[in-house]
Amino acid sequence: MGDLLAPWHLIVLLVIVLVIFGPSKLGDVGGALGKAIRDFKKAMNDNDEAARPIQKAAEPAPAPSPSAPADNNPVKPA
């Protein structure tokens, strides 16, 4: 079995689409497809921007570094 998306196949597919839709309708279909892709990308970017504050709030704060070593066994005065 040969390559499914060979250049010859793409040319035949383009001719069939052109015959079915016609040149004027093909421009409308291309414009609608382009608008759909732009709307999809915009929605994905809006979704990413909305999720960023949630991700920042979910991140734990870094532990403060002590300036002097901690004494775990304090000596009680007698």
Answer whether 26's CB lies under 8 Å from 18's CB.
Answer: yes
Query: pTM value?
Result: 0.43
2-44 pLDDT, tens per residue?
677 788 888 998 889 888 888 888 888 889 999 999 999 999 8
In angstroms, how far apart are the furthest CA atoms of the chain?
Answer: 101
User: What is the residue-wise DSSP string for 42-76?
Assistant: HHHHHHHHHHHHHHHHHSPPPPPPPSS---SSPPP
Give CA–CA dist 73/36, Å, rounded: 67
Q: Domain ranges for the chain, please list them.
A: 22-56
